[in-house]
Amino acid sequence: MLATQKDMMQLDDSVTQLRKNQADLITKMSDLSGSLESLNSQLESSQQRMSVLSQKLDDLQADLQRRFNVLSGQVTGNGGQGPSAPGDLYRLAYNDLEAGKYDLAIVGFRNFLSQYPKVDLSAQAQFNIGECEFARKNFAEAAHEFDKVLVNYPKSEFAPKALYKKGLALQQSGRKSDARDAFKRLIKEYPRNELAKSARDLLSE
């Protein structure tokens, strides 16, 4: 009986140890499953990033090819590959402006103006150079570029816009007196323009 009881106790200990080992195994398998899920998630995230980078690379290559075609057409005079109208060259610069590539946009607009200084888009191109400088917080340079719109394209629809933005740029650069003069000029020369009201509000402030 004593021997049997001893065997039973040993058996109980073995069963207890077996259950403990089983619990440890279940815990380890759960941890392993969690690790596998985390690795799968990281792999999916990496694949998504690779896909995004691949798309950006494709877009960059297409943009470079488009620029090459435009420049090639300018050099060779081949209208089939180059711009068929000033608008093509303008759109390249404007796309850079929209994308926040202000340095490239400025170069593009200056290149456009050097070739087409007196077409319909010329005033807008000059205005956009001022917008680029304003976005880069080069306020003194922005005011200078907006002033070129007033000098070179005084009858353009962009003249009052340029005068208003010139006032804002002067204000931002600390030249408040000059800014007030710009706003007063806007009110005087373009009293019916919608920006005249904004200029009045700024003066009252």
Please list the pLDDT of the chain residue by residue as tens digits (205 residues).
777 777 777 877 777 888 888 888 888 888 887 877 877 778 777 767 775 665 555 555 556 555 655 555 555 555 444 444 688 899 999 999 999 999 999 999 999 999 999 999 999 999 999 999 999 999 999 999 999 999 999 999 999 999 999 999 999 999 999 999 999 999 999 999 999 999 999 998 8
Per-residue pLDDT, 71: 58
Q: What's the whole-model pTM score? A: 0.61
Per-residue pLDDT, 43: 74
Per-residue pLDDT, 79: 46
SS3 94: helix
Per-residue pLDDT, 128: 98
User: For helices 102-115 and 122-135, what crossing angle results, to 10°?
Assistant: 160
Per-residue pLDDT, 135: 97
Q: Where are the domains of the chain?
A: 85-204
Per-residue pLDDT, 53: 65
Compute CA distances 154 → 36, 76, 150, whole Å. 68, 35, 5
Task: Write down the H helix ranges in 77-101.
Answer: 86-98
Per-residue pLDDT, 32: 82
Residue 189: which residues within 8 A CB-CB, separation 6 or more?
Answer: 160, 163
CATH code of the domain made up of 85-204: 1.25.40.10
